[in-house]
Each structure stands twice: as structure tokens, then as C-alpha cells.
Amino acid sequence: MAKKETTLERTYNVPLRKEFQKVPRWRKTKKASTTLREFIQKHMKSEDVKIGPFLNKHLWKHGIKNPPHHVKITVQKNEKGVVKAELFGHKIEEEKSTKKKSKLQEVAEKAGVKMPKKTEKKAEKKEVNEEKVETKEEVKENKEEPVEEPKTEESPAPETTEAPEEKE
């Protein structure tokens, strides 16, 4: 079965000049970006708006004092109501999930075994605990091993171990 892509895709030419003229010079591009976001919220009927990197760079290209007067954008709205906007002619990037799987989960996937959610959480906790135990053991080993100084052949140092004297 094919994955359902976006529910709605549109192209707009957003006028920005009228709004950013209302603020001082040093706030113009910031106002232009908020105006763009408000325009997208109004026309796509969603509060969750993501502005793409190419569109953001285009807005800030000439600095904070001189934004573009209008911007041509492509807007997509998915089933969840998330709206993504990008400069016209550029591809809208999909979000990538970077959740790392444990070794137990990877082996289970390869074998074709479906793990219950509780087991997955336990496997993640075990890995974290194992890492903590390894670091504690490493610290203990470092403390136990005395640092040996190289001995010179000319004057060997006598090794004496004296017990501290007890006073009663």
C-alpha cells in the first residue's frame, strides 16, 4: 500500500511590505517573518506552521533592515495539521526520526520476532545500566592502579612500608 503523502498543497505569493513598513528599520525582517507565519496560519487554517530553511535564508538574505517585499512559497498541510512552508522551487524536507534502537531490538527485527513494548523499555534500561556499571568499573580500576614512576639505574629507591605507630 502506498503511503498517503499530503492532504493539501498550495502556492502563494505573500505580500510582506505593507506589514514590515509599520515597524522601525531594525525590526523589519523579524516582522516580515511573523507576517509570513500569520499569513500561512490564516490561509491554511492551522496553528502549527514550520518554515523551511531555504525560505528562512531568503527572508534574511539582505539582513534585518531590508527583507524582500513579497515571497513566493509552496505550502503543504499533512493529516496531523502540521503546515510546512518552503521557498517556491525548493523541495519540502520530510522530518527524520533519529530514535536509536537497542541491540536487542535490532536482533529481534532481523529474526522477525515482534517485541512487546514493555520488553523494549526494559532492554533500553538494561543498556543504560550496563553503561553506568562499565564506567564505575573503569573508575575503580583507575583508582586501584598506582602510577608507576620510571626508576633510574643510578640511584634505586629503597622500598619500605612502615605501619603507623599507635598511641594509647
Taking the whole predicted model, whether its pTM rises above 0.85 is answered as no
Helix (H) or strand (E) holding 36, with range, is: helix 28-44
Query: For the chain, how big is the Rg over CA atoms in Å?
Result: 32
Q: What is the 3-state secondary structure (H, E, C) of 116-165?
A: CHHHHHHHHHHHHHHHHHHHHHHHHHHHHCCCCCCCCCCCCCCCCCCCCC
CATH code matching the domain that covers 8-87, chosen among 1.10.3720.10, 3.10.440.10, 3.40.50.150, 2.40.50.140: 3.10.440.10
- Per-residue pLDDT for the chain (168 aa), expressed as one digit of tens each? 455 554 799 999 999 999 999 999 999 999 999 999 999 999 999 999 999 999 999 999 999 999 999 999 999 999 999 999 999 999 988 766 666 777 777 777 778 777 666 655 666 666 766 666 666 666 666 666 555 655 555 555 556 666 666 665
The domain spans of the chain are: 8-87, 103-137
CA distance 78 to 42: 16
- 71 Cβ neighbours under 8 A, 6+ residues apart: 13, 14, 16, 36, 55, 58, 59, 87
Contact between 92 and 76 under an 8 Å Cβ cutoff? The reply is yes
**Sheet holding 8-15: strands in order across?**
8-15, 70-77, 83-87, 49-51
